[in-house]
Structure 1
Amino acid sequence: MAGMRCGVNMGETETAAPVEPSSKSARKRRMEIHQFNFVPNDSAVVPELLSGGGGKKRPKIKVVVEEKPKGTEFATVPDGGEQKLSTPSGGILPEFPKFGMTSVCGRRRDMEDSVAIHPTFCLRDGDFSSGFHFFGVYDGHGCSHVSTKCKERMHEIVKAEVEAGGAISWERTMSRSFLKMDKEVKDSCGAGVAGGASTSTCRCELRTPQCNAVGSTAVVAVLTPDKIVVSNCGDSRAVLCRNGVAIPLSTDHKPDRPDELSRIHESGGRVIFWDGPRVLGVLAMSRAIGDSYLKPYVISDPEVTVTERTAEDECLILASDGLWDVVSNETACGVARMCLQSRKQPSTPRSREHDVTVTAAGESSDKACSDASILLTKLALARHSQDNVSVVVVDLRKGQSSS
C-alpha cells in the first residue's frame, strides 16, 4: 500500500520504504501471481493460463456433491456448518455467484493486501435462494495485521448486524459494521498485537512497534437477489460493468477531494502535498480502518451505495489501488467483459451433478472470472504498478449467478 509516506517519523513510528529483493529468484517469487480457491465448472483439467503464464496449469480440482439423505439437499456454509437448501421442483439447486480472485505482492517488499470471499454468508429465513454473498478487498498500510483482521472479522460483523432483526437499512448496517471493525482493531492494538485474534504474521508482531500507526482500506460488496450494496473506506474501488459501461460504485477517499479536504480542515488537521496530498504529510487517503494516531482527521465511516440489479449487469470488479493507479475503470471493465463473453452461457439450469459444494473458504468460481482477474493483475504489473495488486471479478449475468 502506497498510503504511508516513507521515512516520515510520527512520534516513534516510521514506515520503511519498499525495497527491491536482492536475489533474482526472490524477486521472481514475489512477482508470481498467486491464485486461491479456483474451482472449474467441471472435473476436467482447466487449459493453460493466458499467454505469458509460463505454461503452468491450474490444479485439477474435482467438483464435489456430498451424499446426504435422499430427498433433502444440504450445502456447507461459511461458518463450517450445514444448512438445508430450499430445492425447487426437479432437484435443481440454486446457483452460487461465480467469481475469480487474484492477489500478488508485485514490486512491494511485503504483501499487505487481504481478500475475503464468503458466498451465502448470511441467509434470510434459512433459504439459500435469498442468501447474501460477501466480497471484500482490504489494502493495508504500515503493515498487514489490520487488513488481515478485517478479512477475518468484517463479514462476521456484517452478518450479526443483518441478523439483528427488522427491516434492513443498508446504510446504517454497513456504517455500524465498519465502526465496530475499527473499534476491534483499536482494542487489539491496545492489548498488544500478539494478544489479538488475528493470524497475521506481520512485521508488527515481530518488532512490536506503535501499531496505532497501522491501518487498511476496505471496499466491501454484499450481493442480494436484487441489490448490490457497496461500502467503501479508503482508495480501493468497486466498479460495475453494465451493458458495456463502467459504473463506479465507490469514490476514492483522497485527502484533496474537496469535501474530504474541508472535513479534515474543520477537524483541525492539515493536508500537506508531499509526493501527492497526504493527511499531515503522511497518509495518502482520508478514510481508513485503524490509523488511530491520525484521528479525527482520518475516519472509518464508509460511504455506502445501494444499486438495483438489472438484466444488463455483467460483472462487478473489486480491487486495491495497485490496479486502479494504472488501469482505468473503462479498461478494467473491457478486459473483464471480454473474458466473460468468451464463455458460452448455458441454455438450461445446471443439474445436480454439476453443483459445487460451497465450503468455508468460499471455493466457488469458474475459468472466465479467474482469467479476468489474472489478466487484470498482469496488466497492472505490465504497466509498472508499484503496489500490491488484488482483484476480484464477480459474474452478475442472469443464469450465471444467484439472483
Structure 2
Amino acid sequence: MEEETRSFLGRFVDEFPAALEEDSPLPVSPLSRKVSLEELHGESLELGLRLLTARGAPAVLSALLCQAALSQLLQDDLSRFHCPEETEANQEEEQKAVLLQSEAVQRLFLNKLIDVALAWHQNFLKPSPSPSQFRRCSVHAIKNTRRKMEDKHLALAEFNQLFGIQDGVERAYYAIFDGHGGVDAATYTATHLHVALSKQEMLQSDAATAFKTAFKRTDDMFRDKAKRERLRSGTTGVAVLIQDQELTVAWLGDSQAMLVRKGEAVTLMDPHKPEREDEKQRIEDLGGCITFMGCWRVNGTYAVSRAIGDFDQKPYVSGDADCSTIQLSGDEDYVLLACDGFFDAVNPSAVPDLVLDALQQPGDPDGGDTQQKQSEEIIGLRVAQHLVSHAKAAGSSDNITVMVVFLRSPMQLLSQDPTTGTAQDTEDSTSQVAAKQ
C-alpha cells in the first residue's frame, strides 16, 4: 500500500504540479452548472473520486484526499461563487436557495485537492490502513437493448475515510439505482444519498432510521433541483450499509438485495411493486389507483410504487424507504444487489449456482500460483459478468446492473463443503487468499 501510494502521488503531482489556472479547462466536468451549498458536498466528492479513480489512485488514498480537500473547501468564504439572484417562474420566493457557480467552485476544490496531494507527496506519511474487513466487490452493468443507460451504482468500502469518521466502527456502503424517464434522478441519488447518510447522528445506533431519513432528505433535495431545472425523472434504489457485523438494507421500488449464506439464498427484503397488496391499498387510500397496462402501473403511469423523484405522482409514488437489519454471524457468503433488469429474468434461488458456476470457470491454463493470482485478480469482473450475461440470455431487455459483495473470500466458497457450508481442508491456497484480505 505504501509503495502504491508513493507511486501514485508522484504521477499525480507530475500531471498537476501547480494550481489550475482560472481560464484553463477542468480535467473533469462537474455534474451540474449550479449547486446549492448542501449539494456541493456530494458533487465535490464525486468529482474528486472520478478524477482520482481515472488515474488509478488507490481507493483509500482517493477517499482521504477528497475528504481533506473538501474540509478545506468548506472552511473558505464561498460567497464569491454565488450565482446572481433570479426569480424563477416555477420557484416560490421563500424557497429560493443560494446557488453556487459549479465550475468556479469546483475549480477551487480541485486546487485544494492538488495542494493536499503536493503536501502529502513532499512530506510523505505512512497512509492509513485499508479497512481490515476488506470485501471484494464484483460489479457489471450493461445498457442492453435500451436506448439509454439509466442505472447508476456505487461501491464504497472506504465510507469512513471519505467522511472522516473515526468512531472505531468499520463501515462499507454499496448501492444500485435504476433510473426511469432519464438518468438525472439516479445520478443525483448515487451522488448524494451516502452523503446524507453520513450526516445522520443515529448512524451507529440505528442505521435503519438513519437510512430512512437520508432517503427522505435526498428526495427533498432532488425535488428542489427538479423544480430549478425542470426535471421529470425518477429512480428506484437499493443500498446496503455494513457496520462491523451488522448489515442494513434500505430500498425504494423494485431494485433488490439478497444474501447468500452457506450456499443458500436468504431473503432480506420485499420489493415495492404497485401490485403488492399493501402498496395497492396505500395508493388507493390516497385516492389513486393501480391499473394494468402491459404491467401494473400507478395511476396508469409509473410501473413503480416508490421512488426518488416522480414528483408528478407524489404521494402515490412514495419517497419513503423501507429498511431491514440483520446481524452477520460469519458464515455468510456474499450480498447481491441488482436492478429489476436482473431480477425480472432470474429467480433469486438460482443465484448461488450461477455464482458458483462463475467461480468454477477455468483460470490461467498454465496453472499453479499464476492461476491462483489470476483468479483473484479477475474474480471482480467475472462473477458479475456471468450473472448479467445469464439475465440477458434469459430474456431481459432492460438495463442490467449486478453487484456482488463477497463477505468471504471467493476461493473459500470454491472449497466449501456443500453439505455443511464450511471450507474443506484441501490442498488449495485458501489460507493465502484469506491472509490478503
Q: TM-score, normalised by structure 1?
A: 0.66
User: Is the 2:184–2:231 contact (alpha carbons within 8 Å) kept by the matching residues of 1?
Assistant: no
> Mapping of 1:262-277 within 5 angstroms?
262-277=281-296
Alpha carbons of structure 1 residues 296 and 78: separation in structure 2 relative to 1, 3 Å? farther
Does 2:292 correspond to 1:292? no
Q: Using the alignment, how far apart are the partners of 2:147 and 2:361 within structure 1?
A: 36
Give the AA of the match of 2:398. Answer: D
- Aligned partner (choices 174, 180, 200) of residue 135 of structure 1: 174
1:394, distance to aligned residue in structure 2 (A): 0.6
Distance 2:183 2:64 in 1: 23
2:231 corresponds to which residue? 211
The answer to whether residue 134 in structure 2 is matched with residue 96 in structure 1 is: yes
CA distance in 2 between counterparts of 1:62 and 1:190 reads 37
Amino acid corresponding to residue 160 of structure 2 in structure 1: C
| Cα 1:63/1:109, change in 2 over 3 Å | closer
Deviates more, 1:232-241 or 1:130-139: 130-139
Q: Report Cα offsets for 1:127-146 as digits up to 9, x if no partner.
A: 59732111110000011010
Partner of residue 171, structure 1: 208
Structure number having the greater helix percentage:
2
Aligned AA (1:110): K
> What is the aligned partner in structure 2 of residue 10 from structure 1?
none
- Name the counterpart of 2:389: 378
Please state whether the residue corresponding to 1:391 is helix, strand or coil: strand
Give the Cα–Cα distance (whole angstroms) in 2 for the partners of residues 215 and 296 of structure 1. 13
Which residue of structure 1 lines up, in the alignment, with residue 351 of structure 2? Answer: 332
Deviation at 1:185, TM superposition (A): 0.9
How far did 1:282 drift?
1.2
2:212 alignment partner, SS class = helix
Letter in 2 for 1:280: N
Q: Does 1:243 align with 2:282?
A: no
Whichever residue aligns with residue 327 of structure 1, its letter is V
- After superposition, what is the alpha-carbon deviation per residue over 1:299-345, rounded to whole angstroms, capped at 9, x for unaligned? 0111101011122200111001110010110112321244457799x
What amino acid maps onto 1:117 in structure 2? A
Change (3 A) 1:150 1:93: closer
Query: Which of 234, 243, 258 lines up with 2:253 in the alignment?
Result: 234
Partner of 1:114: 152
Please say if residues 135 and 405 of structure 2, whose CA atoms lie closer than 8 Å, have aligned partners that are also in contact: yes
1:44-123 map, 5 Å: 75-77=61-63, 80-81=66-67, 94-122=132-160
CA separation of 1:166 and 1:256: change in aligned 2, threshold 3 A: closer
- State how far apart, in whole Å, the 2-side matches of 1:342 and 1:186 are: 46
Aligned with 2:186 (options 135, 147, 153): 147
**SS at 1:223 equivalent:** strand
CA distance in 2, matches of 1:158, 1:402: 30
Contact 2:141 2:402 in 1 (8 A): yes
Write the letter of the residue equivalent to 1:102: H
Paired-residue identity, %: 26
1:79, CA displacement in angstroms? 6.4
| CA distance 1:310–1:273, shift in 2 (3 Å) | same
Q: Mark the structure with the bigger radius of gyration.
A: 2
Q: What's the offset of the Cα at 1:384?
A: 2.1
Unaligned runs of 5+ in 1: 1-36, 38-60, 66-73, 193-209, 345-364
Alignment CA distance shift 1:191-1:246 (3 Å): same
d(CA) in 2 for partners of 1:127, 1:154: 20
Q: Sort the Cα spacing of 1:274 and 1:147 in 2 relative to 1 into closer, same or farther, 3 A.
A: same
Q: CA deviation at 1:273?
A: 1.0
CA displacement 1:46-71 (0-9 Å, x = unmatched): xxxxxxxxxxxxxxx98969xxxxxx
Supply the distance in 1 between the matched residues of 2:227 and 2:289 (Cα, whole angstroms): 26
Q: Say whether the 8 Å CA contact 2:342–2:391 is kept in structure 1.
A: yes
Within 2, Cα distance between the matches of 1:150 and 1:234? 14
1:224-264: CA deviation from partner (whole Å, max 9, x where unpaired): 21011100100000010111111121211111101101100
Partner AA of 1:211 in structure 2? L
The verdict on how the C-alpha distance between 1:401 and 1:262 changes in structure 2, with shifts beyond 3 A counting, is farther
Structure 2 CA distance for partners of 1:182 and 1:85, relative to 1, 3 Å: same
Match of 2:398 in 1: 387
The answer to whether residue 263 in structure 2 is matched with residue 225 in structure 1 is no
Which position in structure 2 is the counterpart of 1:279?
A: 298
Shift, 1:80, TM fit? 1.9
